Structure 1
Amino acid sequence: MPILILVIVSALSQIMVNSPSYTELIQGPVGHSCKRLTENLKVPYYVGEQFSKEFTGMNLKNLERSVEDDYISNLRNNCWKEKQQKEGMLYRARYFGDSELYQRAQRARTPSCAKLSEITASLH
């Protein structure tokens, strides 16, 4: 009996879950075939074939805002990771007195932080 209840609950949850309206470029076109760019920040994302019929006006603006918010959130997370990695390298270089590691850490790029700064500057 408990197994039957789990199967029924699982089946109902699968029926009630809607597929997302879009996927981001970093995820690739999972289930979506048409590539679009947001109007404001030109963030690439993929949508389904019926997208133009379903999303117009404010619905489209809200969806694009959501795409851009997700993109910025992802950049923030990646920027934080890049900074942590760079700081970790600098700490290890200082701790072990490794000048080569220190130089490598100084040259380490933080592309997500650069892109985030670029977007922040364009918004203000």
Structure 2
Amino acid sequence: MENQGDDGRGVFVQLMPILILILVSVLSQFMVSSSPFSLSLRPSVSHITGESHLSVISYVADNFSKEYTGSSLKAVKPNVEDDYIANLWNNCWKEKQQNEGFLYWDRYFGDTVMYHKAQEMGTPCCSQLSETMKSLENFW
């Protein structure tokens, strides 16, 4: 007969990876701080106009001006612009992927409606990204 005391230790060893995952998840929640701004309007935020050369509109909580002043405010402004440009890149990529999907559908299934849809769709985020990058080149 096997020793009955080993069963408790065996269960603990089997549950150890799950307990470690839970612990890491809880600890990571404490380490992540929320962004002081948003590029889209959310409940309980007021809006400010960016004071940078891009004039990005960002939304902040009502207590933003109390918490962020001086150097901490200067540190936030480049992050707003970086997030804005990253969003434009992502949305431009999505527009191009959707456009390619329509063209693929036309190419392989002969659906000219999809071809016309791709032609009419346009890529406004890509255009905005191009304009933004030009303004950055002119700024620097």
Instruction: Indicate the TM-score class for this superposition, using the shorter chain for normalisation.
Output: 0.7 to 0.9
Question: Per the alignment, in what secondary structure is the counterpart of residue 131 of structure 2?
Answer: helix
Asked if residue 118 in structure 1 is aligned to residue 131 in structure 2, the reply is yes
Asked if residue 20 in structure 1 is aligned to residue 35 in structure 2, the reply is yes
Q: What is the aligned counterpart of 2:99 among 74, 79, 86?
A: 86
Question: Per the alignment, in what secondary structure is the counterpart of residue 39 of structure 1?
Answer: coil
Q: What is the aligned counterpart of 1:97 among 110, 120, 124?
A: 110
User: Percent identity between the aligned chains?
Assistant: 49
Q: C-alpha distance in 2, partners of 1:105/1:14?
A: 42
CA RMSD of aligned residues (A): 2.6
Report 1:1-124 matches (<5 A).
10=26, 17-25=32-40, 28-30=41-43, 32-40=44-52, 41-124=54-137
Q: TM-score, normalised by structure 2?
A: 0.69
Single out whichever of 96-105 and 107-116 deviates more from structure 2: 96-105
The size of the alignment, in residue pairs, is 119
1:1-55 deviations in Å (ceiling 9; x for gaps): 98x9958x84x66566544312222xx225x422112112122222222222222
Unaligned runs of 5+ in 1: none
Q: C-alpha distance in 2, partners of 1:29/1:50?
A: 15
Q: TM-score, normalised by structure 1?
A: 0.76
Unaligned runs of 5+ in 2: 1-11
Q: CA deviation at 1:75?
A: 1.0
Runs of 4+ with >4 A deviation: 4-7, 12-17
Question: Which amino acid letter does the alignment assign opposite residue 99 of structure 2?
Answer: K
